Amino acid sequence: MERYKEEFIEFMVDSDVLKFGDFVTKSGRKTPFFVNTGFYRTGTQLKRLGGYYAKAIHDQFGLDFDILFGPAYKGIPLSVAASIAISEQYGRDIRYCSNRKEIKDHGDKGILLGSPLSAGDKVLLIEDVTTAGTSIEETMPIIRAQGDVQVCGLVVSVDRMERGKGEKSALTEISETYGFRTAAIVTMAEVVEHLYNRPYKGKVYIDDALKAAIDAYYAQYGV
């Protein structure tokens, strides 16, 4: 595993974004792990987060695109942070764009904020974690309504590696439905590989008992 992925896993733990215990996802699944990017709350955290996204985007998609689109609401700071990091790390000036939940009827009118979308633009979607693909379902009609733009991919922070609405993973379902590639900074398999029975700052986050719970979860919901 690349060192930046190991650092990102530790960064999620330090930021209280990656947690282990008993949780319930929005879809009602009881899960022994949870990823909540709402806990990135400082400028330093957002700068580091943008850097990890920039590295993953560069490695897995290259930089041949024009706009980073972050669906509201969590995608808004992600698109901003990652576009800044791409500029700093790779010298490529990428525009950012996000949608509003409600259409604004005064001032900067419309449903979009940041850069407008124009015909011929290549757009890369950026999200936190995708479990069922709901936000992408809501986002794609908004993007398509702006004109002849090309969505070239989706990058998320963590691939939970579990079924979406059918028998395939949510990222695979999105890829097959919309015809673009999907990628993640890390997968849950990599998280387990890095933390299982390995102390981090004096604590073992995934011991035998938690590993068994994760295995049981994937036996039920994995792909």
Residue 111: name the closest of 133, 138, 137 by CA: 138
One DSSP character per residue, 138-171 reads HHHHHHHTTSS-EEEEEEEEEE--BB-SSSSBHH
- Other beta carbons within 10 Å of 13: 19
pTM: 0.93
106 is catalytic: yes
pLDDT of amino acid 171: 93
Tokens of 86: 């791409």
**H-helix segments, the chain:** 3-14, 43-61, 75-90, 134-144, 170-178, 188-195, 208-221
Q: What is the pLDDT of residues 98-148, one digit of tens each?
A: 998 766 555 455 788 899 999 999 999 999 987 666 778 889 999 999 889
CA 103, chain centre distance (Å): 25
Mean pLDDT estimate for the chain: 92
Residue 20: name the closest of 29, 33, 37 by CA: 33
Q: What is the pLDDT of residues 212-222, one digit of tens each?
A: 999 999 999 99
Would you say 130 and 156 are in contact if contact means Cβ atoms under 8 Å apart? yes
* Catalytic residue chosen out of the listed positions 26, 101, 106, 203: 106
Tokens of 140: 């794609």
Tokens of 52: 């990890």
Q: What is the pLDDT of residues 186-222, one digit of tens each?
A: 999 999 999 999 999 999 999 999 999 999 999 999 9
* Catalytic residue chosen out of the listed positions 30, 74, 101, 104: 104
